[in-house]
Amino acid sequence: MKKEPLLGRLLEDNTLFSVFKVVVTIILALLFGFLILFLTRYNPVEAYAALFRGAFGSKRGFGETVLSTTPLLFSGLGFALAYQCKLFNIGLEGQIAMGGLVAAFLGYSITGLPPFLHLPVCILGAALAGAVWGFGPGYLKARYGIHEVISVIMMNHIAFKISAYMVSVQGPMKDRLDEMPASPFVMDSAKIIRIWKGTRLHWGIFIAVGVSVLVWFLLYKTRTGYKIRAVGKNRFAAETGGIDVKRHIILAMSLSGALGGLAGGVEILGMHYRLFSAFSPGYGFDAIAVALLGMLNPFGIIGSAFLYGVLRSGSILMQAMVGVSKDMVSVITAIIIFFMGVGDPLGRVIQEKMVRKRHGAVK
């Protein structure tokens, strides 16, 4: 039997073509970053070498890479879950803030509980806070048709201001024994244990990977997940088929918010151990690129979150050694979002044309 050429398999297999598109997107983004560095009179080779050395060149560096991967994985899953229902949840940053706030409050205010009870209570509280913050925009979308982007942006601002107020000078969560605008430290029973001596890496990464498996199972192995995806594919057809569209819009946004709340809760309980204003450096916004680069698949998002963890942790050494601002990572992130956005429709057109041309040539 004659083996089908690689090009033929690439064109006919949508999954293989999507992976190819992601690889091309990453290469193009790095090339554009290379060009920008060159035009701004930096040495691109030295800059990228420092970036990857910072991410992998030491025990501490690799620990920071995986540490950055954890909240990116949670938030990327949150964006992907909402997007499967064709909802654009850019409110994950606010949901992260509220999750972190509730986790910190439960972490220092509850005393006397053993770790096997206290830690789950804090984590579940963070998830519930994020779910509540996602429920509002989901309800407004389902009940009144208010676009979720508008409502989640407003919810972001509310969350940021609440978080800042809580730890301000007269804020109710301010640690009175410390001049820093932060809450008291959480109890030891609420801390996520660190697992690698000499680093800040903690068990949160395994929680995130476990949640990835659960999200995959929900989306692709349950009726609820099928209905969420059906609503995202065609709401009118889903409603005709007997699916409660409004209910699943609210559910998708609430679950997405819960994943954002988990990101904030795990970040506080595993890394900072206390709440302070703006503790997230933008994980909720990076979630868009992480989810798109992972092709909205929970297992793909594990890989894309790790890539962004590499960029985030490596950018610190890049800035220290070469002088390139770590904001360069944000530029690469924006380029990836751009190419993924343009590449989706453009890639389908190119694929269809090449398939037709190939079949025409065979005939």
Does any domain span residue 48?
Answer: no
Does any domain span residue 60?
Answer: no
Q: Are 82 and 253 in contact (CB under 8 A)?
A: yes
The pLDDT value given to residue 325:
83
Token couple for 39 = 């035009």
Same domain, yes or no: 167 and 90: yes
Does any domain span residue 307?
Answer: yes
Does the pTM of the predicted model rise above 0.85? yes
166: Cα within 13 Å, side-chain hemisphere: 22
Same domain, yes or no: 343 and 212: no
Same domain, yes or no: 155 and 272: yes
**342: containing domain:** 1-42+324-363
Same domain, yes or no: 224 and 331: no
Does any domain span residue 52?
Answer: no
Same domain, yes or no: 129 and 221: yes
Same domain, yes or no: 253 and 210: yes
Does any domain span residue 63?
Answer: no
DSSP 277-310: TT-SSSHHHHHHHHHHHTTT-HHHHHHHHHHHHH
- Name the domain boundary from 318, 334, 352: 318
Residue partners of 285: CB distance under 8 A and separation at least 6: 90, 92, 93
Longest Cα separation, the chain: 80
Does any domain span residue 57?
Answer: no
Q: Are 248 and 233 in contact (CB under 8 A)?
A: no
Weakly modelled stretches of the chain, pLDDT under 50? 1-2
Burial class (CB in 10 A: 0-12, 13-18, 19+), 123: buried
Same domain, yes or no: 111 and 220: yes
What CATH number did the domain enclosing 130 receive? 1.10.3470
Same domain, yes or no: 35 and 153: no
Same domain, yes or no: 314 and 342: no
Tens of pLDDT, residues 119-175:
999 999 999 999 999 999 999 999 999 999 999 999 999 999 999 999 998 899 999
Q: Is 145 left (phi over 0), alpha (psi -120 to 50) or beta?
A: left
The count of structural domains within the chain is 2
The pLDDT value given to residue 345:
55
Same domain, yes or no: 141 and 277: yes
Same domain, yes or no: 115 and 135: yes
Same domain, yes or no: 332 and 234: no
Does any domain span residue 87?
Answer: yes
